[in-house]
Amino acid sequence: MEPLNVCLVNDSFPPAIDGVANAVVNYGRVITGRHGRATVVTPYYPQADDSVFPFPVVRYPSLDMTKLVGYRAGMPFDFDVLRQLETSGFDIIHSHCPITSTLLSRALRERIHVPVVFTYHTKFDIDIANAVRGKLLRDSAARILAQNIAACDEVWVVSNGAGENLRKLGYEGAYRVMPNGVDLPRGRVDDELISRVTEGFDLPAGMPVFLFVGRMMWYKGIRIILDALKQLSDGGAAFRMVFVGGGNDKDEIVAYSHSLGLDGKVLFSPPIRDRDLIRAWYCRADLFLFPSTFDTNGLVVREAAACGLASVLIAGSCAAEDVADGESGFLIEENADSMAAMLRRLMASPEVMARVGEGAQREIYVSWEEAVSRAYARYGEVIENYRRGAYPAHDTFTDDLFRGMAGVMSVMDRSRQLQQSALDQMYAEAQSKFDDYMSYMEHMNHAGQDRFM
């Protein structure tokens, strides 16, 4: 297959940190390093340093809505950005968010006529429930989201559970399961790095250390963790729990931990962007706690597995897909009592935690190289299907709207270019007259000097 030029579009990207941003970074990294060319298109963030990436990043205007939704809201219909993307020679567009990113992807498709692939990473019905009040408005928002997704040429999901959740939004089309990978290599880091990363944290030797890495949001199951730890603490158990991450709910979570009397036993670290430092925490811990039913893939579970660290997960959750209880992870019910009972059992059997951690590393680890190579191969099939008209025509109201928008924007863009051309010509004429005037003045100045001589 000839090298492809891939446009990756997502609403979140560093300096924002979440699982989807990490996925897009690694898609760009692997495509650029192994296969073809990749460009990331994402909203503007202040202090963003895109020079650290081995691929170009195109930023479009955004509004600061981090206090409301945790991200900057992109405003993608920018003439200069669209013109830059239109002339970039993309073979395929891959959107990783069903809102602004997919709107931009569809608008760009109308201008350059290449297929759009969409990946469903996150349970947006939960996001909608948290952001929108009233069942009628929630249902309307879900319907619009499903229609936006259905307007893409091919839809991917990161797990079977993600596909089931997509159906709940009202999406009725076909989808393909394309799991994500992790960017951590198999194996441990040096003990020296572990010591450096954990310096300042009270982690006595021989005492079990539990770990959570991710956004500090209640819907990640964090209340289950804290309530279970409260039971252990009341029973006299010695342990340490470390939360690594930030998020809108972090202050409430810290306050709740304090109210349970867990100070000194539950420790908090700010977000860590350095992947080797994250690996060091995985290597220091004895068990990873991730009782989330929100996440559709649970990349952190596979990151932990890369370091030989087993996870405690909710049975039936997306994060627990492909995990065998007692072999590559530990499965519990979705409540604090079940979590506490599992932790008591495992604290008494550290060798079981170590053995299952080795099983996780062997059985559920997937590298980004493997995941993206699989996706890249599928890109070629999508492009071929698109060129031979295998995908259904997009004839919904929103698609007609986008075609009309694309036409209007093209007319406005041409008008602006004509106006700019006229301005450039006026400037050139003025500059020419000014140059003639300066030459005349210089000539007169020399003539005066000659007469004086």
pLDDT in tens, the chain (453 residues): 789 999 999 998 999 878 889 899 999 999 999 999 999 999 999 889 999 999 999 999 988 876 666 667 788 878 888 889 999 999 999 999 998 899 999 999 999 999 999 999 987 766 656 656 677 777 777 888 899 999 999 999 998 988 998 998 899 999 999 999 998 999 999 999 999 999 999 999 999 999 999 989 999 999 999 999 999 999 999 999 999 999 889 999 999 999 999 999 999 999 998 999 999 999 999 999 999 998 877 889 999 999 999 999 999 998 999 899 999 999 999 999 999 999 999 999 999 999 999 999 999 999 999 999 999 999 999 999 999 999 987 755 455 555 555 554 454 445 545 555 554 565 566 566 656 656 656 665 555 555 444
Is residue 327 within 8 Å of 229, Cβ to Cβ? no
- List, as own/partner pairs, every contact residues 324-328 make where C-beta atoms lie below 8 angstroms and the sequence separation is at least 24, other chains included: 324/359, 324/363, 326/356, 327/356, 327/359, 327/363, 328/356, 328/359, 328/360, 328/362, 328/363, 328/364
User: Helix, strand, coil: what percent of the chain each, to 5?
Assistant: 50, 15, 30
DSSP tag of 367: B
Is residue 6 within 8 Å of 31, Cβ to Cβ? yes
Sign of CA dihedral 241, 326, 159, 57: positive
> Would you tell me how many other CB atoms lie within 10 Å of the CB of residue 18?
21
Residue (of 354, 303, 288) closest to 185 by Cα position: 303
Using omega within 30 degrees of 0 as the cis cutoff, is the peptide bond preceding 61 cis?
Answer: no
Side chain identity, residue 26: N
Provide the token pair at 190.
């040096």
Q: Which domains does the chain have, with CATH numbers?
A: 5-181+369-394 (3.40.50.2000), 191-365 (3.40.50.2000)
Burial grade of 438 (CB within 10 A; 0-12, 13-18, 19 or more): exposed
Is residue 184 within 8 Å of 202, Cβ to Cβ? no
Distances (CA, A) of 173 to 74, 116, 147, 272, 402: 27, 15, 10, 38, 20
Distances (CA, A) of 122 to 8, 17, 19, 128, 175: 17, 14, 9, 11, 15
